[in-house]
Structure 1
Amino acid sequence: MRIAVIDGQGGGIGKYIIERIRKAFGQEIEIIAIGTNSHATYSMLKAGANEGATGESALIYNLSRVDIILGPIGIAFPYGMLGEITPEMAKAFSLANIKKILLPLARENYLFAGIGDLPLPHMVDDLLELLAKEIQKRSGN
């Protein structure tokens, strides 16, 4: 199983996701860290990603090389994550025919109904549950 964790700004959310994946699944999952900037990529590599790449081209290139994408919902919106997500990145992400598991972090004038106001650790718990179900489906168990 090969997954991409996408993050920007300081990479703190991606770092936290990767740390939790490593704790839950060990090394059985290959993780590619895709940062919108080099600091985010570096933070995710330090957290345990197998590989890392940075920027628009890296995101677009790697989307077809992973089974699942994880990250904050801002990666789906042009100019999301304080403008770090380009329209081309958002388009490639949206059109990628792979499973996406996103954290519903309310930012930049978006509010999400029906999900409550969970703290980040609880959101990541849910993300890991969904990831485990996807892994189980793909392994046929």
Structure 2
Amino acid sequence: MNIVVLDGMGGGIGSRIVGILKEEMPSYIEVYGLGTNSLATASMLKKGANKGATGENAIAVTVAKADFIVGSIAMTIPNSMMGEITPKMVEAVGNSEGIKIYIPILPENHHIVSLEQKPLMLQIREAVDFIKKELNLGDE
């Protein structure tokens, strides 16, 4: 069982997600930190990711085997994150059989309507709680 956390730029969001997952998931669940750049990957590894990898091919190969994929919804938009998200990455995430959990952080010219505006940490908490529910972990 593995959970892939995707992030780019400085890895701030991904590292927060990894930190909470590592605190709350059983030790048999591996958390992978996949970054679009080495800074993002290093940030997630520092927070305890079991494995980390960087770049387009590493992301494409690893998400294909993921049970869960967590990250900003920007991961579904080619060329977002200042061009760090490639079309190949978007396609790999979309084609993965894993359950995708998106946090609605978008580029400036994208908008989602009918969602509650919540602080980032509450959105991350909801993503982690969703995974726990899917795994029937509850409050252990």
Bucket of the pairwise TM-score, normalised by the shorter protein: over 0.9
Segments of 5+ residues of structure 1 without an aligned counterpart are none
Instruction: Report SS of the residue matched to 1:114.
Output: coil
Q: 1:53 to 1:32 in 2, by over 3 A?
A: same
Q: Is the 8 A contact 1:80 1:108 kept in 2?
A: no
Alignment of 1:88-127 (within 5 A): 88-127=88-127
Q: Is the 8 A contact 1:8 1:40 kept in 2?
A: yes
Deviations 1:65-114 (A, max 9, x none): 22110111111110112210011111111121221011001323111111
Deviations 1:14-68 (A, max 9, x none): 0000111122225232011110000000000000000100000000110122211
Instruction: Report SS of the residue matched to 1:136.
Output: coil
Judge which range, 108-117 or 70-79, deviates more.
108-117
Cα RMSD of the aligned pairs, angstroms, is 1.4
Could you tell me which amino acid in structure 2 is paired with residue 70 of structure 1? V
How many pairs were matched up? 137
Q: What is the Cα deviation at residue 117 of structure 1?
A: 1.4
Alignment of 1:1-141 (within 5 A): 1-136=1-136
Could you tell me which amino acid in structure 1 is paired with residue 6 of structure 2? I
Q: Is the 8 A contact 1:6 1:33 kept in 2?
A: yes
Q: Is the 8 A contact 2:76 2:93 kept in 1?
A: yes
Provide the rounded CA distance (Å) in 1 between the counterparts of 2:79 and 2:49: 25
Sequence identity percentage: 39
Q: TM-score, normalised by structure 1?
A: 0.91
Instruction: Report SS of the residue matched to 2:132.
Output: helix
